Amino acid sequence: MQGKIVKGIAGFYYVHVVESGIYECKAKGVFRKDKIKPLVGDNVEILVLNEQEKEGNITDILPRKNTLIRPAVANIDQALVVFALQQPTPHLNLLDRFIAMMEYHEIPPVLLFNKEDLDEELHREYIRSVYHATGYPMVFTSVKLDDRLSQVREVIQGKITAIAGPSGVGKSSIINLLQSNVSMEIGELSDKIKRGKHTTRHSELITINEDTYIMDTPGFSSLYTLDIEAEQLRFYFAEFREYEGMCRFNGCNHIHEPGCSVKSAVESGVIHRSRYDNYVLMFDELKGKKPY
Ligand code: GDP
Ligand code: ZN
């Protein structure tokens, strides 16, 4: 039988099998010889030992789409980067760091701006203009207004979505609302998982429907220090990429070089200045970090 690991705790893995429920499994498969550890998000083959008690063994790990080391998770399809439009006002420099980090890990970002009900100054239009050229999907929500989460449901459908963002922006509120129509089958069976609830927090997949999961990854949000060379940074700004090779100098970093096509795009308003300024800030920081 095949399933997906939704949680791992103290040598036990909780494997969600569509239409059967969650099995408590140990890792007994041949992959142990290769020192491969199962990860939350892994698709696995299990052997059921006791159907009544929902116990089994993981016998195989299917090929991974991607892997993150910290937090240790596999097969993330996208990241939902959550900020608020107000309370707290969005810190776009922090957002651009999150985005660059996702790009570095090759995890496509979806930008979610919450608390739209508080957005009397229509900050939303400014945000739209800043991120328009990136091409990232943008969703504006409010957990206080009816029906606002339908767009979120659409973008997460059929995927594993990791959630990131500073605290206080509404991540837990959004997850709770998304979970509110989780089917009975899944609701009941997740009691099995709850037993281990009050131990240290681990990464966990929250089942939204049978093929849709939210990855609640403690520590994911704080991982925004980029360990890269400054000269690599431009590749993690999506809207800069189409200008690669179009500047006067080969390998132009789009900083002080003359004849820079990215700087021209900023001047003409195609690339937003907020994004460019944050790029320059991050570039200078990375430059200042000398390797020993
Ligand atoms: P988290 O730290 O990102 O998980 O944020 P929470 O979900 O705990 O929300 C922080 C606070 O913002 C709580 O008081 C929520 O009730 C409130 N909140 C969350 N979403 C909204 C929203 O869309 N509108 C308003 N007005 N408040 C919200
Ligand atoms: Zn350039």
Quote the distance between the C-alpha of residue 15 and its chain's center.
21
Residues of the chain with CATH 2.40.50.140: 2-68
User: What pLDDT, on the 0 to 100 scale, is given for residue 196?
Assistant: 44
Is the minimum distance from the CB of 163 to ligand 1 under 6 angstroms?
no
Which atom of ligand 1 lies at the shortest distance from residue 169's CA? 3
Mean pLDDT value across the chain: 88
pLDDT at 168: 92
Cβ pair 162, 79 in contact under 8 A: yes
The arithmetic mean of pLDDT across residues 247-259, rounded, is 96
Which residues of the chain does CATH 1.10.40.50 include? 230-288
Helix/strand/coil for 151:
helix
Most ligand 1 atoms within 8 A of CB, residue of 143, 167, 176, 206 to mutate: 143
Mean pLDDT along residues 120-139: 95
Q: Quick one: pLDDT at residue 222?
A: 58
Fold for 74-183+192-222, please state it.
Answer: Rossmann fold (3.40.50)
C-alpha 6/C-alpha 206 separation (Å) is 7
DSSP strand pairing (109-114 vs 160-164)? unpaired
Q: How far apart are the first and last CA of the chain?
A: 50
Q: What is the pLDDT of residues 182-220, one digit of tens each?
A: 544 444 445 555 544 444 467 789 989 888 999 876 666
Query: Residues 81-119: pLDDT tens digits?
Result: 999 999 999 999 999 999 998 899 889 999 999 999 999
In short, whether 263's Cβ falls inside 6 Å of ligand 1 is no
Superfamily of domain 2-68, CATH level 4: Nucleic acid-binding proteins (2.40.50.140)
**Start-end of CATH 3.40.50.300 domains in the chain:** 74-183+192-222
Q: What number does CATH give the domain 230-288?
A: 1.10.40.50
